[in-house]
A and B are shown apart, each in its own frame.
Chain A
Amino acid sequence: MQTKVAPLAEAPRARLSIRAKVVLVSLVLAAIPFVGYGYVREMENILRAAQEQRVIATARAVATALHDRPRLLEFSAEDDGSRRRPAARAATQEIEQILIGLRRASSRIFVIDQQRRLLAVAGSLRQEPPAEPADTGGAWNWVQSRLLRPLWALLLERPPEDFDDAIPEELLSGGKEVDAALSGVPASRWRPTPDARAVVLGAAHPIWSGTEVIGAVVAEETTNSVLTLRNRVFEQLLTVTLAVFVLGAGTLFVFASRLSGRLRRLRDEAEQAIDVRGRVQRGFRASGDSDEIGDLSRSFATAVDRLAEYNEYLERMADRLSHELRTPIAVVSSSLDNLRTRAIPTDAQVYIARAEEGVRRLNAVLTRMSEATRLEQTLRTTERERFDLGRVVSGCVAGYTAAFPQSRFELRLPERRIEIDGSPDLVAQLLDKLVDNARDFVTPGEPVEIALDAEGGTARLSVSNAGPPLPAAMADRLFASMVSVRSPGAKPDGQAKPKGEPHLGLGLFIVRLIAEFHGGSASARDREDGSGVTIEVTLPVAAPPVG
């Protein structure tokens, strides 16, 4: 159970930043092409219906024209393409003239008689490929022709112009619309070309002669023109969508970047407002912005200020309290001193002695209470020097051995010198506190173990004692001011400190202050076998002198 002194837990950094979220939200714009797709399909249906009407109308017009000339069909039926029957040839040519007159671009019209013989054909299903729009230069055109069109070509199928446009035999022999027309009912049908590469819309219309159907006109058109139109609309739709998306996402991105940038700044400031020691730092700059983040920043600044005031009040409290108490104590002690000069009955002397002992203890308490504040003042002005840590530790331990003959100390030192930059007096004070603390809790008869070693750039100074383990819940707060988590309990023998040495829980706080002054840290943990507690201080070793 290792407890770091750093009070701020490693806060998880935002996984998905606001910026990423806002950009994700902009994906809503991706719905635009789907909605557009629906509309385009609707339009396509309308176009198809219109095309059908048009083709039917063409077939009817031709049929009406031929209806007036029933003989043309009879002659034409005899036309075998030779010159032997000029009348038949002429009839065929006349039909073709009518067909050409009524046909429309990219449509094909043919006429058959009752025997399903093909009498005349005009036009072709193929269409001249539409001319590519001329490249007029300019960035937008370049983007359109080089980037967008190839992209759309991947998405949209371009209707082919090289389909098989032969008139399939089964259309003449058994096509539904042909059957219907020859039996007197106009009909239309979409059919695939024989190679299935395009769809052809065919409309057949009967040619009446009196009450008799003498043939049928079939007008055909591919759906390519509709498809081309649809594709162009799609291209425009996708281009607009892409533009809106890029523009919208870009704007949102910039906006979100600013937003998250401001929030990050606020976070950094908020983190810096409380330093690693958990102390509130002044100087939180409130933002002047008039929006919610500015509000947040301002209320945070207010909160930090109030917290700082309260913190300062608490920190000063021990100091102020001890200061305020010194004067009345001085009144008591100077009165006692004066009393001593008078003739006092011997049996009353003991009370004076007790009162003096009480005052002495009060003074000790007050001195301890202001010790941390005094130390902080000292730290501000302490000059650093380079010194041998081992020498300080061994000197101190020799001192403890002499000063506390009833305690046992075991010291382990490294072979080599460990030099650190700092104040040897402060390190001695730190060790005093650690040993003080260990002596408070050590099992009587067991030694206080002090060990120093260095690994890499870190010196490790640990003081370990057999005794009760750390209460788990308080481990984090062990090094805070005025926290005493281990109660020394009643010591059966004279091992305990003499009365009058108050236990205010400032010892380990002072350890932490000194360790942090040296750029190190302090931690407490139970011994691995649970037999006691080890408090360890790490201090950075001084860089070896240059040269």
Chain B
Amino acid sequence: MSRRIAIVEDDAAIRENVADTLRRQGYEIAAHADRAQALAAFQGRLPDLAIVDIGLGADVDGGFTLVRELRAMSAELPIIFLTARDSDFDLVAGLRLGADDYLTKSISMPHLLARIAALFRRMDVLRSPSKSEETVDRGPLRLDLKRMTAAWRGQPVDLTLTEFWMVHALAKYPGHVKNRDSLMSDANLVVDDATVTSHIKRIRKKFVAVDAAFDAIDTVYGMGYRWVSG
């Protein structure tokens, strides 16, 4: 059974390009141009994954509304924002609504495919708990590479896919400085330095929320970041 991906995007060219790319990978595609149309389709049948643009024609925040409604229908459905809006404010708002990832339209198709594949993998693992665990343990940190989940001192830390990849890239070789460019490529992301900075900031905050004494991510000014295993 092929997986079904819904694309909600008002720009026809992008919609078709993404759809073509995904179709070639064997996914089944449901493309929608606006919120009403998408919602009607979702009520009939939920896709396996949704890619949603924030601005949908005249409905400037239509994507946000749609994701809220979609999240209410299903808690597990992977949702990716794919948007031209790159402000921190939109990013935070999007992730807060329960999206699994937030991507700007400058992302390349191979990167997008990598993310979609990763999200499906994670979903599969979550559904059928496998016995053979593939984990990375760095002191109090445990990364489950199959589920793409992180735990700190036994408590789960809710990371997005991008954040998980960044933490993984850092924690894989503790003490090694990862510069921003390599962090970005490890996270299958093409963004600017400031976005990496704000991602790191958000990751730190999520760990600090679990453990106020968290300081395992060290900034090496001018070079990048490294994982310090206490």
Contacts and interface: CB of A to CB of B under 8 A. Distances in A.
Interface of A: 323, 326-327, 329-331, 333-335, 337-338, 341, 363, 367, 370-371, 373-375, 377-378, 381, 391-393, 395-400, 402, 424-425, 428-429, 431-432
Contact of B198 (A327, A330, A378, A395): A378
B105 A327 contact: yes
A326 B14 CA distance: 11
B58 interface: no
A338 B24 CA distance: 9
24 contacts: A323-B85, A326-B84, A326-B104, A326-B106, A330-B14, A333-B108, A334-B21, A337-B21, A338-B109, A363-B190, A370-B86, A371-B192, A371-B194, A373-B87, A377-B87, A378-B88, A381-B88, A398-B222, A398-B223, A424-B221, A425-B219, A428-B221, A428-B222, A429-B194
Contact of B89 (A326, A377, A396, A400): A377
B221 A392 contact: yes
Contacts of B21: 334, 337-338, 341
A330 B83 CA distance: 10
A396 B106 contact: no
Nearest to B13: A331
Please list the 3 inter-chain residue pairs (A to B) with the smallest Cβ-Cβ separation, ordered nearest first.
A399-B222, A396-B222, A395-B221
- Of B14, B106, B179, most A-chain CB atoms within 10 Å: B106
Size bracket of the B interface = 20 to 34
Interface of B: 11, 13-14, 17-18, 20-21, 24, 84-89, 104-106, 108-110, 179, 190, 192-194, 197-198, 201, 219-224
A338 B219 CA distance: 38
Contacts of B194: 371, 374-375, 378, 429
B223 A402 contact: yes
A396 B221 contact: yes
A331 B221 CA distance: 36
A392 B221 CA distance: 5
A331 B88 contact: no
B80 to A, nearest CB: 14
A327 B13 CA distance: 9
Nearest to B198: A378
A234 B194 CA distance: 86
Contact of A395 (B86, B104, B106, B220): B220
A432 B223 CA distance: 11
Nearest to B190: A363
Nearest to B83: A326
A488 B192 CA distance: 23
Nearest to B86: A370
Contacts of A393: 221
Contacts of B89: 377
Nearest to B92: A381
Given A377-B89, A391-B221, A399-B221, A331 B14 contact: yes
A335 B88 contact: no
A330 B105 contact: yes
Contacts of B88: 374, 377-378, 381
Contacts of B179: 399
Given A337-B17, A337-B110, A396-B222, 5 more contacts: A337-B108, A373-B87, A378-B88, A429-B193, A432-B222
A392 B223 CA distance: 10
A508 B19 CA distance: 42
A152 to B, nearest CB: 79
B92 to A, nearest CB: 9
A327 B84 contact: yes
Contacts of B20: 338
B16 to A, nearest CB: 9
B11 A337 contact: no
Nearest to A395: B221
A444 to B, nearest CB: 23
B106 A400 contact: no
Contacts of B105: 326-327, 329-330
Contacts of B14: 327, 330-331, 334
A410 to B, nearest CB: 15
A331 B12 CA distance: 9
A378 B85 CA distance: 15
B148 to A, nearest CB: 24
Contacts of B24: 341
Nearest to A425: B197
B17 A331 contact: yes
A291 to B, nearest CB: 45
A334 B84 contact: no
Contacts of A331: 11, 13-14, 17
A367 B17 contact: no
Contacts of A432: 193, 222
B154 to A, nearest CB: 28
Contacts of A378: 88, 194, 198
Contacts of B85: 323
B222 A395 contact: yes
B222 A337 contact: no
Contact of A327 (B11, B110, B197, B222): B11
B96 to A, nearest CB: 14
A463 to B, nearest CB: 13
Contacts of A391: 221
Contact of A334 (B17, B193, B198, B224): B17
A338 B17 contact: yes
Contacts of A395: 220-223
A67 to B, nearest CB: 123
